[in-house]
Chains A and B, each alone.
Chain A
Amino acid sequence: MDEGLRSELSRQGVFATTIQDLYNWGCRNSLWPLNFGLACCAIEMIAASMARFDIARFGAEVFRPSPRQADLMIVAGTVTKKMAPQVVRLYNQMPEPKYVIAMGACAISGGPFKRGYNVLKGIDRYVPVDVHIPGCPPRPEALLHALITLQEKIASRKLTGPSRARAFQEEAPGEFPVPEYGPYDLVPAKNTDLWRPKPITRNE
Chain B
Amino acid sequence: MPSASNPYLFLALMLAAGLVFCLGMLGLARLWAVWVSPPKPGPTKGAAYECGLAPQGDVRIRFQSQYYLYAIIFLVFDVETVFLLPFAVSFTGLAPGAFVAIMVFLLLLVEGLVWAWGKGLLRWR
Report yes or no: A97 in contact with B49, Cβ–Cβ below 8 A.
no
Which residues of A sit under 8 angstroms from B54, Cβ to Cβ?
A: 85, 89
Which residues of A sit under 8 angstroms from B53, Cβ to Cβ?
A: 86, 89
Q: Is B47 an interface residue (CB 8 A)?
A: yes
A residues 148-181 near B (Cβ < 8 Å) are 159-160, 167-170, 173-175, 178
Distance, CA A66 to CA B44, complexed state (A): 14
B residues 76-123 near A (Cβ < 8 Å) are none
Mark A residues whose CB is within 8 Å of B: 23, 36, 66-68, 85-87, 89-90, 92-93, 95-97, 159-160, 167-170, 173-175, 178
Looking at the complex, which one of A36, A86, A87, A168 makes contact with B38 (CB distance below 8 Å)?
A: A168
Looking at the complex, which one of B37, B47, B52 makes contact with A167 (CB distance below 8 Å)?
A: B37
Distance, CA A68 to CA B48, complexed state (A): 11
Mark B residues whose CB is within 8 Å of A: 36-38, 40-45, 47, 49, 51-54
Which residues of B sit under 8 angstroms from A178, Cβ to Cβ?
A: 44
Distance, CA A89 to CA B36, complexed state (A): 25
CB distance from B117 to the nearest CB of A (A): 40
By CB atoms of chain A within 10 A, which of B37, B47, B51, B52 has the most?
Answer: B52
Report yes or no: B52 in contact with A66, Cβ–Cβ below 8 A.
no
Given contacts A93-B47, A160-B36, A175-B44, 8 further A-B contacts (CB under 8 A): A86-B51, A89-B52, A92-B45, A96-B37, A97-B37, A159-B36, A168-B37, A175-B45
Distance, CA A173 to CA B47, complexed state (A): 17
Report yes or no: B38 in contact with A170, Cβ–Cβ below 8 A.
yes
Report yes or no: B44 in contact with A92, Cβ–Cβ below 8 A.
yes
Which residues of A sit under 8 angstroms from B40, Cβ to Cβ?
A: 96, 173-175
Pairs across A and B, CB under 8 Å, 23 listed: A23-B36, A66-B49, A67-B49, A68-B49, A86-B52, A87-B52, A89-B44, A89-B53, A89-B54, A92-B42, A92-B44, A92-B45, A95-B45, A96-B37, A160-B36, A168-B36, A169-B38, A170-B38, A174-B41, A174-B42, A174-B45, A175-B40, A175-B45
CB distance from B62 to the nearest CB of A (A): 24
